[in-house]
Structure 1
């Protein structure tokens, strides 16, 4: 974990400097694409990505579970290869109660329902995060992950979605419907656990109670509507069920990673965003990652991470396109 944490500080690139690197980054992505299949076959390798090294050069980054992984070349097609120890990437549903404190207890029942609070499928004792409201046609929907709303492909349209998720009920796992009902599962993108590539872990719910389309007061408020492509060094923030408001930056782009969903289910995701450490904890799955400025424009949908809070997120553009949706503003 220490290697990634130490290297993350070097990912803070300025806009003008990054612009001069766009051609180099694109070239590294091509090399990354050609070599990722063989790199993922190395025991202990959990992903590859493109980033910027401490000297400001574009590099191919190999992500590993531990420091003792061997067999990774130092250069591929004249592109330097850096190794970062991240540990295993896991889907971030709740397994522990959030720490006390914070502006608002995001695990409480809150009406109308804001972004960033605990949600889940009523057929399981779990909890993730409501990322944001989205608009499809004239209707508002709630956006989160497949593994939060749709039970990792096992859900069916019409299943009850609750706020908070049942993991956060008192007593824990109690069925508090109809009071806790947020709405019903409306649509989701299936996750391929059979070895194919995935691009996002996302689902939407049709609400039966109003959404605010903004975070609770004291956080960043309403997200913007302009989709911002992730780039190394981009300052970001998110509000999630467990860790609340956290800030950091984009560390790596174009990531291909393997994600453990538990129960023997592992999925490969491509074209992902990886953040600096400290962004997320278990239960933050589904959070909307936005720019860390007054505009709070959408960047990515959080869905997985490592023990040190390094986060994997789906670029939000393809997610919105899949559902033919736009970001709802509060």
Structure 2
């Protein structure tokens, strides 16, 4: 397993601050992070400040103040092209309810996503864990709205929304199940159980998720400090920070596409721990996920102490 030392990470984050201060207003730049440098689209074991751009330009066509340096205080500056989009789409009916399957909000046409997991709280109730933009998805959405699996219809209602949170660090929501179907707290095909959650997430960690598009095995390559991308429910781009960026491991499946929003990334090991809540990505190339400890913390602060 690769890894970046703590001292190198600290130095790289200082370099990121300097670079961001100089280039944060560049309209071609969507975000910054610290992680692995890429070569031919694949991460290599070198620490870098990563700059996410809409497209690359030759230096000869850029104004001097928009030219990015090769390094900052000895830390490599790696310019990468990304096109992160929210991921949501369709699948089929399951009983019992289980992580990794399609879920839909009945009051938001054509909005689908994935059940990350069926979790319980200290109250003993069972909840569907997914994204706010999957279970709510509208500026005027309310708690108590019907949630369906796999599609809208009176026979398919399985829960009602309980809480949704969307801000710069999380895009998460819970919907309380209605006991019309059995409950299975595993994740389809990848995790017979979830053994808690990871509080100290590191680059180089191998992770796996299952969503409506299938299985993906990847590696955490950076924690994006700042990123923006367009979303359908507001006019301005949505801003996020401190998100996990995940990319494919050579020779492993990486099915990441529309419909996977809400999927739960877990460590790829015998006793998997929850790591991140998938909310966006670039089809079959990259994924963005909320660090799960942020999701747990924000929900706890709102009165929902979830348990894995």
Range class of TM-score, shorter chain: 0.7 to 0.9
Distance 1:153 1:221, change over 3 A: farther
Select which of 247, 251, 262 maps to 2:221. Answer: 251
Partner in structure 2 of residue 150 of structure 1: 136
Alignment of structure 1 residues 171-320 onto 2, 5 Å: 175-177=152-154, 179-191=155-167, 198-209=168-179, 210-216=182-188, 218-241=189-212, 243-262=213-232, 264-277=235-248, 278-320=254-296
Comparing 289-298 and 263-272, the one that deviates more: 263-272
Deviations 1:152-198 (A, max 9, x none): 4431010001111x3xxxxxxxx412x1111101001134xxxxxx0
Matched, 1:162 2:148: yes
- Alpha-carbon distance between aligned partners in 2 of 1:228 and 1:237, rounded to the nearest angstrom: 17
Matched residue SS, 1:231: coil
TM-score of the pair, normalised by structure 1: 0.79
- Alpha-carbon distance between aligned partners in 2 of 1:229 and 1:159, rounded to the nearest angstrom: 35
Partner in structure 1 of residue 31 of structure 2: 47
Matched, 1:326 2:273: no
Matched, 1:64 2:58: no
Question: Retained in 2: the 8 A contact 1:223–1:327?
Answer: no
- Alpha-carbon distance between aligned partners in 2 of 1:136 and 1:206, rounded to the nearest angstrom: 10
RMSD of aligned alpha carbons: 2.1
- Alpha-carbon distance between aligned partners in 2 of 1:311 and 1:204, rounded to the nearest angstrom: 22
Distance 1:148 1:31, change over 3 A: same
Partner in structure 2 of residue 6 of structure 1: none
Specify every segment of 5 or more residues in structure 2 that has no aligned partner in the other structure, as ranges.
Answer: 38-42, 249-253
Specify every segment of 5 or more residues in structure 1 that has no aligned partner in the other structure, as ranges.
Answer: 1-12, 98-106, 167-174, 192-197
Question: Retained in 1: the 8 A contact 2:256–2:283?
Answer: no
Deviations 1:278-313 (A, max 9, x none): 351110000000011111111100001123431111
Question: Retained in 1: the 8 A contact 2:84–2:280?
Answer: yes
Name the structure with the higher strand share: 2
Matched residue SS, 2:237: strand
Matched residue SS, 1:276: strand
Question: Retained in 2: the 8 A contact 1:61–1:83?
Answer: yes
- Alpha-carbon distance between aligned partners in 1 of 2:135 and 2:18, rounded to the nearest angstrom: 35
Number of residue-to-residue matches in the alignment: 282
Matched, 1:93 2:84: no
TM-score of the pair, normalised by structure 2: 0.84
Deviations 1:71-107 (A, max 9, x none): 3222234422111122x2211122xx5xxxxxxxxx2
Question: Retained in 2: the 8 A contact 1:235–1:291?
Answer: yes
- Alpha-carbon distance between aligned partners in 2 of 1:317 and 1:153, rounded to the nearest angstrom: 25
Question: Retained in 1: the 8 A contact 2:53–2:80?
Answer: yes
Q: CA deviation at 1:36?
A: 2.7
- Alpha-carbon distance between aligned partners in 2 of 1:79 and 1:309, rounded to the nearest angstrom: 25
